[in-house]
Structure formats: C-alpha cells, structure tokens
Structure 1
Amino acid sequence: METDSIVSMLEPLREPGAVHWWPLAPGWWVLAIMMAALVGYGIHRLWLFHLRAAPVRAARKALISIEAASFSDAERAAELGLLQRRLAIGVRGRKACAGLTGRPWAEFLNSLTKSKAPYFDGRLAELAYWPTVASQDCTDALEATRRWLKDLERPG
C-alpha cells in the first residue's frame, strides 16, 4: 500500500473542546476563600476602629457647638469640663477616671495624648467648678481643649 492511501484512511483531526473556566480548580477555591476571609477581617477591624473613635468624633462636634454657643465664661468652662469628663469616661472607662480631681485629673487628661505635652494643669482642670471664671482662663481652657482633642491618641 502506498502511504497516501494509508493517510487517506485516517480520520480527520478533531480539535479539543474549549476549556471552560467553571468549575474552578481546587486551588482557586482555596484562594477565593482565603481572600474572602481576609476582606472580612479587614472590614471587621475597620468597624472596630470606627466604634472606638466614636467618642472622639462626638467630642470634637461638641467642642464646635460649645464654641458657637453664647455661654457665659463660667457656663463655657463647665461645658468644657463636662466634655472632658465624658470623653475620658468614653475612652478609658468610668473606673479609670471617675474619682480623679485636680492635679491627678489634669495628668490623666494629658496622658491620653500621644505627645506627652502638658495641655492642662491643675488650674485648668478645676476651672469648670469655679463660681466665677475670668475670660482669659476660659479662653485658655478652650484652646487647651482644642489642642488636646486634636492630639488625642487614636483608639485601637
């Protein structure tokens, strides 16, 4: 037999079918599950950070409203003291700071920031409880609170 006749008896070549992308190979499933877990963990951490930073955000908004309100100096100082107390309790808990007054209270407020700069001294920390407050003392307390809130350590 001739080679041409043998070749003519062969079936024509068939192209293989297209390789489908689905179902995925097991390695892709493992990678997809790992990526989903990583994204879920990241979202969870962001949510926790958002929750922990809520008292600081609320205090910054309250400071803006205290600045805008038409309070007397004694009322403004009382509001600033209340804002500081609420924020300290919100960040560190009632047991850590509820009983502090005077110099220990000022040191506690100063310890909440990353930069260990002294924002408050004993006088500014007790200003909220004075019956009469000088305008300059109130301005000093407002500025110290503004700087303190700006530098407040991020929770988390």
Structure 2
Amino acid sequence: MANTEPQLALADIQEPVLNTFWPPAPGWWLLAVLVILLLAYGFRFFWKKWQKALPLRQAKAELRLIKAPDQSAELNELLKRLLHCYSPRHPVLSAPVRRWQDFLQQQLPQHSLPDLQAVLYKQQPDQADFALYLQFATQWLNKVSAKQLEQL
C-alpha cells in the first residue's frame, strides 16, 4: 500500500553546515607566513643593531663609575677600549699621547680638551683638568653612535 499522505514522504529538514574559521583559506596561510617572516627579519635587524651598540652602552655605564682624578688613566683606557671594539686597527690606538689628544679633539672640536700628558702622567692630576677631561668624554660618548665609531 502506498503512502498517500504528503507529510509522510518529506524528509527531516537539515540545517546547512556552518562556515568555521578553521582551517583558514590558503590566502590566510600565505599572509601568516609572510607576517612571520617579516617579524623574524625585523627582530634579527633590531637584535644586530642592539648587539652592535652594546660596547657603547657598556662604556657609558662604566663612565658613570669614574669620578676621581686618580682614575684618569681608567678614563683614557675606557675611551681607547671603546675605539678598539669598533675599529681594532685604528692607528691612533698605538700612537703617542699627543696624536691621541688630537684625534679626540677632532671628534668634538667645539669643546676644549686639557693636556692629556699632564692629566695622565702627573703624580697628582689637577682636579679641574680631570673634570674637563671627564666632561669631554661624557659629551663625546653621548654624541657618538656605533655607526660613527665603525667609520672612524
């Protein structure tokens, strides 16, 4: 016997499948890979820049510890070590004091530099000369960048 009632012949209504966010379309995968590569490149770029400036930051931190005239040799050594980090074969590193003083004076011509021969080799260096040398070193380290030091 055939079923003649139209309601019995209908199948249940099925809801359509919802579009979910996962898995994303291939375009989103490509965009995600590009963003990750861009972030990795940016991190690497800034990390290298940060590492390149590390000796300069350390020199500035060490400079804050130098306060007394009897530390004038340490101040001079600090400046030479900084230059050696960025330019190890610079001729002024093994030059006499007069050439070192001329080199430093060229870096900041508008600021005066005391006689380094007297500051470095006197038994008791003059407080005013040491203060002038310390001020000069502070201004130079605050002005100079790692890129400038590499080009010296």
Confirm or deny a common fold (TM above 0.5): yes
**Separation in structure 2 between the aligned mates of residue 147 and residue 64 of structure 1, nearest angstrom:** 12
**CA gap 1:64/1:12 in 2 versus in 1, 3 angstroms:** same
Question: 8 Å contact 1:56–1:149 — kept in the other structure?
Answer: yes
For 1:76, the equivalent position in structure 2 comes to 71
Q: CA RMSD in A?
A: 3.1
In structure 2, what residue type is equivalent to 1:94? P
The reply to whether residue 86 of structure 1 matches residue 81 of structure 2 is yes
Q: Unaligned regions of 5+ residues in structure 1, if any?
A: 1-5
**Separation in structure 2 between the aligned mates of residue 150 and residue 30 of structure 1, nearest angstrom:** 44
**Separation in structure 2 between the aligned mates of residue 14 and residue 110 of structure 1, nearest angstrom:** 86
Q: Unaligned regions of 5+ residues in structure 2, if any?
A: 1-5
**CA gap 1:26/1:120 in 2 versus in 1, 3 angstroms:** farther
SS in structure 1 of the partner of residue 128 of structure 2: helix
Q: Residue by residue, what CA displacement relative to the aligned partner does 1:14-54 show, whole Å, maximum 9, x if unpaired?
A: 44210121112111111111111111111112211221111
Report the number of matched residues. 142
SS in structure 1 of the partner of residue 81 of structure 2: helix
Question: 8 Å contact 1:107–1:120 — kept in the other structure?
Answer: no
Return the offset for 1:154: 4.1
Runs of 4+ aligned structure 1 residues displaced above 4 Å come to 9-14, 116-122
TM-score by length of 2: 0.74
Question: 8 Å contact 1:110–1:120 — kept in the other structure?
Answer: yes
Return the offset for 1:81: 0.5
